[in-house]
Amino acid sequence: MAVASLSFIVGILGNIISILVFLSPITTFKRIVKKKSTENFKGIPYISTLLSTSLWTYYGLLKPGGMLIVTVNGAGAILQAIYVTLFIIYAPRDSRVKHLKLAGIFNVGFYTTVVLITFLATHGSVRLTVVGFLCAGLTLGMYASPLVSMRNVIKTKSVEYMPFALSFFLFLNGGVWSVYSVLVKDFFIGVPNAIGFVLGSAQLIVYTIYKNKATEKPMDKLEEEGSTHLVHGTVEMATYDKEMKKERSLNKMWSLPKPTVSRQLSFQKIITKSHSMNVNSLPLSDDIENQAENLVNGHDR
């Protein structure tokens, strides 16, 4: 009785966390609807999750006491159907056709085939086992599908296309349903969710490593920019040198010519002689005036 009560509580907790997992892509699809483009987001995870939740709903209907499985996966199937529809609407033409075909093949064709074959060809525990194996395999696919996003994160060094909320709740979801599987002794629920717990942990580690890389420039990019700065500096220095040479040329054009060596020596002798003359040797003002008058009279004649 205590184990049944505990399993019910854990199952309710698992329902809450799983629904949060199913709701986590809402921000992604708000962005898709706002921009009217799927950008680099992948649609395959939503198609695989839709198939998985649909089959788990069927499994819950077949399993005695599986109502908690039905409720959570039924809600998940409805949400995933909405996501797939929105993705197909806003995807580019080629991608739209591709995802429409995939959704038709797996979510309609494959699911209908499984239900018909297991319902008509198998009975009792065999039917439950067959559906259980299919559900376990698809759940692994649901948990492993974000590995594509992890590859993109490592390649681009950006977590833009791997939402943290989805990775975090997948981590919690795998852990809670693993505990639930132990309590109810359900191998089909336990194995894929235990693996999902490990994969969710890996996604969180990758997110932690690359979450700040978007604001940091790679070293080769910095080196490239540094080289550009050096080139610009060289160009600026060359321009400065040319301007300096031009300015010197202009100064040389407008400046007086330098005296020759002989003129410099004569000028030095004059300076030396002027320094050696005393006051008496200098011409008087009267003599200067007489010399000036003689020059004027001579000019008049």
pLDDT tens digits along 94-128: 999 999 999 999 999 999 999 999 999 998 899 99
**Residue-level pLDDT at 239:** 44
Q: The tokens of 115 are what?
A: 């239900």
Which residues have CB under 8 Å from 153's CB, separation 6+?
A: 159, 161, 162, 206, 207, 210
CB neighbourhood size of 291 (10 A): 11
**Residue-level pLDDT at 146:** 67
**Residue-level pLDDT at 297:** 52
* C-alpha–C-alpha distance, residues 230 and 197, integer Å: 50
Q: Phi/psi at 131 (nearest 5 deg)?
A: -65, -35
Domain ranges of the chain: 6-214
Q: The tokens of 167 are what?
A: 């990775």
* C-alpha–C-alpha distance, residues 74 and 110, integer Å: 18
**Residue-level pLDDT at 139:** 82
**Residue-level pLDDT at 284:** 46
Q: The tokens of 144 are what?
A: 């492993």
**Residue-level pLDDT at 170:** 79
**Residue-level pLDDT at 228:** 33
227-267 residue pLDDT tens: 333 333 333 334 444 444 555 554 544 444 555 545 444 44
pLDDT tens for the chain, residues 1 to 301: 577 789 999 999 999 999 988 888 898 999 999 999 998 888 988 998 899 999 999 999 999 999 999 999 999 999 999 999 999 999 999 999 999 999 999 999 999 999 999 999 998 899 999 999 999 988 887 766 667 778 888 888 888 767 787 788 778 889 999 999 999 999 999 999 998 888 888 888 888 888 876 555 444 443 433 433 333 333 333 444 444 455 555 454 444 455 554 544 444 544 444 444 444 444 444 554 455 455 445 545 4
**Residue-level pLDDT at 121:** 92
